[in-house]
């Protein structure tokens, strides 16, 4: 009885030691993984012929650097046409608001001057004929003719002055509004033409590595068709597979150690995702002994230098000690 109790106590004491040895063995055996990237596919928003592709495959570009450019001759012509149309509508709008232009008003002023001169001459002639009529030199018909000529001259002068008053008035409200709408439409057309011209140059949204180029200069590219792929510096990630026994212990945002032949020393990554389903789960019921065969895909973002990591590169992943201690 005493011997059996002693054996039981020895077995219980050995369990923590075995667990520590198992944890140590798990920590010494890294998990297998590889580098993966979230690529950006640079595509034009307008169709056109490729005029230039700035970088080469494998070249690193900075954010905002030009990636490729489409031919712009047609787009530049559209901008000039829209600019000319805007100038025409602006002139029309100004004319509607201000009335006739100074040269046209000068013509009307000259007409008024002639009418005033004619009226002055007709008035003098009427006074002379009136004096002669009062002296009995001429008949009344001559005086009537002079009076009619004076009336005509006065009417012509009044008409010329009314033309000047009308010419200096702005157009009716409806005409002014219509001219303003046409001017606004021309402004919008110019803005659209400039926007299309600006879209002929596609720049890098982030700094990164040009991975692949799909077109050559001179080829026609459609809207949304990728011309090249770009791997941003911050878009590399580590993909590795976690055995089922360690799954529950892997805390969200846990840090893991990354190792490879060309990795910088001390490289670490933060776990960002763990799959909810196992990879390639066979259609069998797993026993307690076979659960380690279940692998769950996990992803982690490197915390240090990532430019040297290449997509597809195999890496070793070591879980933190808290993740493997059961």
Q: What is the pLDDT of residues 259-316, one digit of tens each?
A: 888 777 888 899 988 888 876 644 444 444 444 567 888 999 988 766 678 888 899 9
Q: Comparing 121 with 132, which gets the higher pLDDT?
A: 121
Residue 132 in any domain: the answer is: yes
Residues 103 and 81 grouped into a single domain: yes
Mark whether 182 and 269 lie in a shared domain: no
End-to-end Cα distance, the chain? 33
* pLDDT tens-digit readout, 3-62: 444 333 334 444 444 444 444 444 456 888 999 999 999 999 999 999 999 999 989 999
**Lowest-confidence segment of 135-139, 234-238, 265-269, 273-277 by average pLDDT:** 135-139
Residue 3 domain flag: no
- What pLDDT shows up at residue 159? 82
| CATH number, domain containing residue 319 | 2.40.30.170
Residue 303 tokens, joined: 């915390």
At residue 10, the pLDDT reads: 38
Q: Cα–Cα distance between 211 and 231 in angstroms, integer?
A: 7
User: Are 140 and 211 found together in one domain?
Assistant: no
| Closest CA relative to residue 238, chosen from 192, 301, 152 | 301
In a domain, 135, yes or no: yes
Whether 49 and 133 share a structural domain: no
The whole-number pLDDT of residue 306 equals 64
CA–CA gap between residue 27 and residue 262 (Å, rounded):
21
Tell me how crowded residue 213 is: count the other CB atoms within 10 A of its CB. 18
Q: What angle do CA 199, 205, 211 make, to 5 degrees?
A: 105
324 to 24, 126, 238, 295, 305: CA distances (angstroms): 9, 125, 19, 15, 26
Q: Do the Cβ atoms of 299 and 324 come closer than 8 Å?
A: no
Residue of 284, 287, 280 lying closest to 245 (CA atoms): 287
Q: Distance (Å, rounded) from C-alpha 72 to C-alpha 121?
A: 68
Do 84 and 184 belong to one domain?
yes
**Strands (E) located in the chain:** 31-37, 40-42, 48-53, 60-61, 66-70, 201-203, 208-213, 220-221, 228-232, 236-243, 255-259, 268-274, 295-302, 314-318
Please provide the DSSP assignment of 146-204 as one string: HHHHHHHHHHHHHHHHHHHHHHTSPPPHHHHHHHHHHHHHHHHHHHHHHHHHHTTEEE-
- Under the banding of pLDDT at 50, 70 and 90, the label for residue 213 is very high
Instruction: CATH number of the domain at 209, please.
Output: 2.40.50.100
Stretch among 23-37, 116-130, 230-244 having the lowest mean pLDDT: 23-37
Q: Are residues 85 and 176 in the same domain?
A: yes
Query: Beta-carbon neighbour count of residue 10 at 10 Å?
Result: 9
Which residues, listed in sequence order, are joined to residue 60 by a DSSP beta bridge? 209
Whether residue 268 is contained in a domain is answered as: yes
The predicted model scores a pTM of 0.59
Contact 184, 156 (CB under 8 A): no
CA distance readout (Å), 277 to 16, 50, 310: 31, 45, 27
Q: Which residue has the tokens 């001017």?
A: 183
Same domain, residue pair 66 and 85:
no
Lowest mean pLDDT among 207-211, 216-220, 253-257, 283-287: 283-287
Domain span including residue 306: 25-38+232-324
33's tokens: 């993984």
Distances (CA, A) of 3 to 8, 11, 75: 9, 13, 97
User: Taking all residues of the chain, what is their mean pLDDT, rounded to a whole number?
Assistant: 79
Report the 10 Å Cβ neighbour count for 178: 15
65 plus 110 within the same structural domain: no
Q: Say how many domains are in the chain.
A: 3
């Amino acid at each position: 009885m005493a011997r059996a109790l002693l054996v039981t106590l020895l077995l219980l004491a050995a369990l923590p030691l075995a667990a520590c040895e198992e944890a140590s063995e798990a920590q010494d055996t890294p998990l297998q993984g590889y580098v993966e990237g979230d690529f950006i596919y640079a595509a034009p928003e307008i169709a056109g012929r490729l005029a230039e592709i700035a970088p080469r495959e494998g070249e690193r570009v900075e954010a905002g650097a030009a990636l490729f450019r489409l031919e712009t001759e047609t787009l530049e012509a559209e901008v000039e046409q829209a600019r000319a149309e805007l100038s025409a509508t602006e002139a029309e709008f100004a004319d509607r608001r201000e009335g006739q232009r100074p040269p046209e008003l000068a013509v009307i002023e000259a007409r008024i001057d002639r009418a005033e001169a004619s009226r002055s001459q007709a008035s003098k002639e009427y006074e002379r004929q009136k004096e002669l009529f009062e002296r009995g030199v001429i008949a009344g018909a001559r005086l009537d003719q002079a009076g009619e000529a004076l009336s005509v001259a006065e009417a012509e002068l009044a008409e010329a002055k009314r033309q000047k008053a009308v010419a200096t008035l702005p157009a009716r409200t409806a005409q002014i509004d219509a001219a303003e709408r046409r001017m606004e439409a021309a402004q919008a057309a110019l803005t659209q033409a400039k926007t299309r011209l600006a879209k002929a140059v596609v720049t890098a949204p982030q700094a990164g590595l040009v991975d692949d180029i799909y077109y050559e200069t001179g080829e026609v590219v459609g809207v949304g068709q990728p011309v090249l792929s770009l791997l941003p510096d911050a878009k590399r990630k580590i993909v590795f597979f976690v055995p089922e026994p360690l799954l529950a212990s892997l805390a969200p945002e846990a840090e893991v150690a990354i190792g490879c032949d060309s990795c910088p020393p001390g490289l670490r990554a933060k776990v960002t995702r763990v799959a909810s389903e196992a990879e390639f789960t066979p259609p069998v019921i797993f026993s307690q002994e076979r659960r380690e065969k279940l692998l769950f895909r996990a992803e982690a973002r490197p915390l240090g230098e990532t430019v040297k990591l290449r997509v597809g590169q195999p890496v070793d992943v070591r879980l933190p000690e808290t993740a493997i201690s059961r």
